[in-house]
Structures are given as structure tokens and as C-alpha cells.
């Protein structure tokens, strides 16, 4: 691979036969050991809220929510890799949202991304995560990164800002200070995705959505999107692009506020489909929307209300998809 990738040929790898192109059957989750209100990210994340709880109570509630979600996913047949990290004095209150700083591909590539906030840049521990992935039988063949963009003041927060249609090799992205167009198009070229559908968004405040995955999700045969936050001149194009191959489920801004856009379709070890979401999202979907979604997989709601309210992110943000192949034989 180009762009300074380092490759290893010491291991023969193979993807499981019949494995989904769109859905991962393995995720990385990070325990919220230092979880709390992040004033740095709150500057452009309108979904964060301060609460009247002391720091220890917040961490305790967040950890309980995290553990219940890990248990629930594993019981449903999704492999979960818990990526722990040492406390070093510099807190990382948003470490529970690992999907923003890395991504992986079916051909074994591991990418590292430029994060906008200083205290989120401290979360980026590529070698430690690669070691954990390898230990779990998920093999990293090559690495690449876009960290040089930080020096230019340009950022691209991985699957927070990019919602990928892997089947059609298309990336959807709401532009913001966390999603810079040049970095976005550079990454798309690196992974061989031929289409980038980028667009503007506006909340009632006039500010853009901080992360695309708060208002949009793509599964194998469906897409959830809040079209009302997209300007009309771009809205029709985005919807038409999705509708070419997906059942489009349009959600309201009120539903976005309950994280109905922050959901993720996953594959189980036996090839079944599940859709992970928060309890607040599940409760906010209409009966008709739940019925539509249920045709695409078992709905798995998790109560992550503390993490949602204080962190401004939900279930999808807590899941770093692992598409890496599994190791089969050592040469």
C-alpha cells in the first residue's frame, strides 16, 4: 500500500467465508475510567450536558452502563475487544468513544486519524491497540495515518464524521471543523472508495452537526438519516444517493436529540444481524420505524443515559468496528 504504509507478510490471513462487507462482527470498546464532561469538545458538541452529580458518581454510572453493554453484545454473538489503557495523569474524558481515532479495513489495514481537541488527541494509542487486536486474533497487515493534518489545523474524526457505505464504496460526511474536505477526500483515495458525498448541516442554533454519525447510519440494506438538517439544495441529492440501494428511514431533529441516528448494524458470529442503539433511541423511534429496522436485524437497546447526556455521544460512538481478517496460520 502507498502513503508510507508498513506491511507485514509473516502471517497468512483469511476472512471468514460469507462475511458481511458492510457489517463488522467485532468491535473495540474502551472502559470510561476517566469519563466526565469534556469542556473542550463542548465548544461544538451541542449534545453534551453538565449534570448535578459528583465526578465519582458519574464515572461509576458510566462504567456500569459500559459493562452492561459489553455483556449484552457478547451474549448476542458480537465479539467485543475491551481496550484498556494506563492512567498517566493526563485525563481522557472521552476515551469511551474510540471510533473517532481509528478505523480498520477488510484487507488488514489500520488507520489513525487527526482529532480536533487536544485532550482527545491523547486517546490515540495505535500500537497498544494493534497489540490488543493481534492478541484477540485480528491481524493488522498494514498501518497508515493522517496525523500530519493536525499541523495544518485540519481534522478528520474517523467514523464519527464518516458514515460508510462499504458495499457501494461511498463515504457520506457532514462537513464541520472536525471533518475537513481535503483530509476526507485523501482518506477515500487511500482506501479505494470512489465516491464521497459531503454536505452541509445546520442545527436550530445555526451550527453544524459535530459528527455525521449523530444524524445518520448506514446498514446493509437501510439508511437512517435526519434530512431536515441538510440544506434543501443538497438534501435531495443525498437522499437520492442513499435510496439507490437502501431503504431510507428519515428521522426528525427531535429523534436526533435522542440519538436515533447514532445506531450501528453489526454481524454476529453465526452470521445474524443485530442493530445496536441506546434505550433513549429505541424509545424515540416510532412503532413503524422500529418495525422497519427490525426487518434488518434484532434491535439491541442499551441504557447509556449517563454517557449520552454528559458525553454527547451514544452507542454507535462507543463502538470501534473491527473489519480486520482473522489470523489462520503462522509461516
In a domain, 278, yes or no: yes
In a domain, 67, yes or no: yes
Residue numbers of the domain that contains 141: 6-330
In a domain, 213, yes or no: yes
C-beta pairs of 230-234 under 8 Å, 24+ apart in sequence: 230/174, 230/199, 230/200, 230/201, 231/199, 231/200, 231/202, 234/199, 234/200
Could you list the pLDDT tens digit for every one of the 331 residues in the chain? 444 443 333 333 333 445 679 999 999 999 998 765 544 554 445 444 556 567 678 888 999 999 999 999 999 999 999 998 877 777 777 888 999 999 999 999 999 999 887 877 888 899 999 999 999 999 999 999 999 999 999 999 999 999 999 999 999 999 998 899 999 999 999 999 989 999 999 988 888 888 899 999 999 999 999 999 999 999 999 999 999 999 999 999 999 999 999 999 999 989 999 999 999 999 999 999 999 999 999 999 999 999 998 877 899 999 999 999 986 533 2
Neighbours of 182 (CB within 10 A): 11
Rounded distance, CA 121 to CA 109, Å?
A: 21
Q: What pTM was estimated for this model as a whole?
A: 0.89
In a domain, 251, yes or no: yes
In a domain, 10, yes or no: yes
Please give the tally of structural domains in the chain. 1
Q: Judge whether 301 and 279 are in contact, CB under 8 Å.
A: yes
In a domain, 1, yes or no: no
CA distances from 220 to 129, 217, 247, 267, 297 (A): 27, 10, 10, 10, 10
In a domain, 247, yes or no: yes
In a domain, 123, yes or no: yes
CATH for 100: 3.75.10.10
Angle value at C-alpha 278, between 276 and 284, nearest 5 degrees = 115
User: Helix-strand-coil percent breakdown of the chain, rounded to 5?
Assistant: 30, 25, 45
Residue that has been written with the C-alpha cell 434491535 in this structure:
299
One-character DSSP codes across 130-155: HHHHHHTTB---EEEE-GGGGGGT--
Amino acid at each position: 500500500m502507498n502513503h508510507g504504509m508498513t506491511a507485514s507478510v509473516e502471517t497468512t490471513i483469511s476472512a471468514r467465508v460469507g462475511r458481511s462487507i458492510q457489517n463488522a462482527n467485532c468491535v473495540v470498546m474502551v472502559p470510561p475510567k476517566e469519563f466526565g464532561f469534556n469542556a473542550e469538545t463542548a465548544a461544538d458538541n451541542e449534545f453534551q450536558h453538565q449534570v448535578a452529580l459528583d465526578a465519582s458518581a458519574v464515572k461509576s454510572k458510566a462504567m456500569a452502563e459500559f459493562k452492561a453493554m459489553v455483556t449484552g453484545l457478547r451474549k448476542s454473538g458480537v465479539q467485543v475487544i475491551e481496550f484498556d489503557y494506563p492512567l498517566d495523569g493526563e485525563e481522557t474524558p472521552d476515551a469511551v468513544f474510540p471510533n473517532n481515532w481509528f478505523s480498520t479495513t477488510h484487507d488488514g489495514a489500520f488507520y489513525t486519524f487527526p482529532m480536533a481537541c487536544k485532550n482527545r488527541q491523547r486517546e490515540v494509542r495505535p500500537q497498544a491497540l494493534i497489540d490488543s487486536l493481534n492478541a484477540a486474533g485480528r491481524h493488522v497487515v498494514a498501518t497508515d495515518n493522517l496525523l500530519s493534518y493536525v499541523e495544518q489545523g485540519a481534522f478528520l474524526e474517523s467514523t464519527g464524521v464518516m458514515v460508510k457505505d462499504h458495499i457501494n464504496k461511498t463515504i457520506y460526511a457532514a462537513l464541520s471543523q472536525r471533518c475537513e474536505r481535503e483530509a476526507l477526500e485523501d482518506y477515500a483515495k487511500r482506501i479505494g472508495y470512489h465516491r464521497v458525498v459531503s454536505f452541509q448541516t445546520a442545527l436550530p442554533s445555526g451550527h453544524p452537526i459535530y459528527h455525521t454519525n449523530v444524524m445518520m447510519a448506514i446498514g446493509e440494506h437501510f439508511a437512517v438519516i435526519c434530512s431536515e438538517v441538510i440544506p434543501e439544495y443538497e438534501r435531495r441529492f443525498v437522499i437520492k444517493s442513499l435510496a439507490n440501494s437502501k431503504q431510507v428511514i428519515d428521522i426528525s431533529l427531535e429523534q436526533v436529540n435522542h440519538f436515533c441516528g447514532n445506531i450501528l448494524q453489526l454481524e454476529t458470529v453465526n452470521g445474524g444481524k443485530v442493530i445496536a442503539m441506546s434505550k433513549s433511541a429505541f424509545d424515540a423511534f416510532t412503532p413503524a420505524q422500529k418495525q422497519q429496522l427490525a426487518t434488518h436485524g434484532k434491535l439491541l437497546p442499551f441504557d447509556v443515559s449517563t454517557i449520552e447526556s454528559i458525553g454527547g455521544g451514544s452507542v454507535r460512538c462507543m463502538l470501534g468496528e473491527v473489519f480486520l481478517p482473522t489470523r489462520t496460520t503462522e509461516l
